[in-house]
Amino acid sequence: MNDNTVIISEIKRLLGGRQPLAYVRSFGCQLNTSDGEKIKGLLRKMGYGFTEDEAQADLIILNTCAVRENAEDRVFGIVGSMKKLKELRPDLIIGIAGCMTAQSHIAEKIKKSYPQVDFVLGTSAINGLPRLLLDCLNGAKFSADIAEYDDFSAQAEQVRESSFKASVPIMFGCNNFCTYCIVPYVRGRERSRRPEDIISEVEGLVRDGYKEIMLLGQNVNSYGNDLGGEMSFPQLLRRLNAIEGDFWIRFMSSHPKDASAELIDAIFECDKVAKHLHLPVQSGSDGVLRRMNRRYTAEKYLGIVDEIRRRDPDFSLTTDIIVGFPDETEEDFEATLAIMERVRYDNIYSFIYSRRTGTKAAEMPDAVSEEEKGARMRRLLELQREISTEHYKRFIGRRMRVLVDDVSKKREGYVSGKSSEFIIVELEGDSSLIGQFVDVEITEAMNWAVRGRRV
Interface positions with ligand SAH (CB under 6 A): 67-68, 180-181, 183, 218-219, 253, 255, 280, 282, 320, 322, 351, 353-354, 356
- Tell which positions 182-201 bind ligand F3S, by CB under 6 A: 182-183, 186-187
Task: Yes or no: say if 301 and 256 are a contact pair by the CB < 8 Å rule.
Answer: yes
Does 120 sit near ligand F3S (CB under 6 A)? Answer: no
- Tell which positions 205-224 bind ligand SF4, by CB under 6 A: 218-219
Residue closest to ligand F3S, measured at CB: 28
Does 103 sit near ligand SF4 (CB under 6 A)? Answer: no
Which residue lies nearer to ligand SAH by CB, 282 or 285? 282
Residues 291 and 293: their CA atoms lie apart, in Å, by 5
Q: How many residues in the chain?
A: 455
Does 31 sit near ligand F3S (CB under 6 A)? Answer: yes
Residue 440 β-bridge partners: 400, 454
At 167, give phi and psi (nearest 5°).
-95, 135
Does 184 sit near ligand SF4 (CB under 6 A)? Answer: yes
Please choose, from the candidates 197, 219, 211, the residue with its C-alpha nearest in 3D space to the C-alpha of residue 29: 219
Name the one range near ligand SF4 by CB under 6 A: 95-103, 110-118, 170-178, 435-443.
Answer: 170-178
Name the one range near ligand F3S by CB under 6 A: 9-17, 64-72, 226-234, 252-260.
Answer: 64-72
Which residue lies nearer to ligand F3S by CB, 101 or 283? 101
Does 174 sit near ligand SF4 (CB under 6 A)? Answer: yes
Does 214 sit near ligand F3S (CB under 6 A)? Answer: no
Q: Which does 322 bind (CB under 5 to 8 A by kind): ligand F3S, ligand SF4, ligand SAH, none?
A: ligand SAH
Strands 49-50 and 21-26: parallel
Residue 121: CB minimum distance to ligand F3S, A? 14
Contacting residue, 4, 11, 24, 32, with ligand F3S by CB under 6 A? 32
Which residue lies nearer to ligand SAH by CB, 52 or 69? 69
Which residue lies nearer to ligand SAH by CB, 47 or 287? 287
At 412, give phi and psi (nearest 5°).
-65, 145
Start-to-end CA distance of the chain, whole Å, equals: 52
Contacting residue, 42, 46, 61, 66, with ligand F3S by CB under 6 A? 66
Please list, in sequence order, all residues whose beta carbon lies within 8 angstroms of the beta carbon of residue 278, skipping any fewer than 6 positions away: 252, 253, 254, 317, 318, 319, 320, 422
Q: Which does 31 bind (CB under 5 to 8 A by kind): ligand SF4, ligand SAH, ligand F3S, none?
A: ligand F3S
Which residue lies nearer to ligand SF4 by CB, 142 or 349? 349
Q: Which does 177 bind (CB under 5 to 8 A by kind): ligand SAH, ligand F3S, ligand SF4, none?
A: ligand SF4
User: By CB neighbour count within 10 A (0-12 exposed, 13-18 middle, 19+ buried), where does 260 fall?
Assistant: middle
Q: Which does 319 bind (CB under 5 to 8 A by kind): ligand F3S, ligand SAH, ligand SF4, none?
A: none
Q: Which does 28 bind (CB under 5 to 8 A by kind): ligand F3S, ligand SAH, ligand SF4, none?
A: ligand F3S
Residue 258: CB minimum distance to ligand SAH, A? 10
- Tell which positions 250-279 bind ligand SF4, by CB under 6 A: 255
Q: Which does 99 bind (CB under 5 to 8 A by kind): ligand SAH, ligand F3S, ligand SF4, none?
A: ligand F3S
Does 359 sit near ligand SF4 (CB under 6 A)? Answer: no
Please choose, from the candidates 52, 75, 51, 47, the residue with its C-alpha nearest in 3D space to the C-alpha of residue 63: 75
Amino acid at the residue 14: L
Contacting residue, 60, 92, 129, 178, with ligand SF4 by CB under 6 A? 178
Q: Which does 66 bind (CB under 5 to 8 A by kind): ligand SF4, ligand SAH, ligand F3S, none?
A: ligand F3S
Residue 430: CB minimum distance to ligand SAH, A? 35
Name the one range near ligand F3S by CB under 6 A: 135-143, 158-166, 178-186, 354-362.
Answer: 178-186
Amino acid at the residue 279: L
Contact positions toward ligand F3S, by CB under 6 A? 28-29, 31-32, 65-67, 99, 182-183, 186-187
Contact positions toward ligand SF4, by CB under 6 A? 174, 176-178, 181, 183-184, 218-219, 255
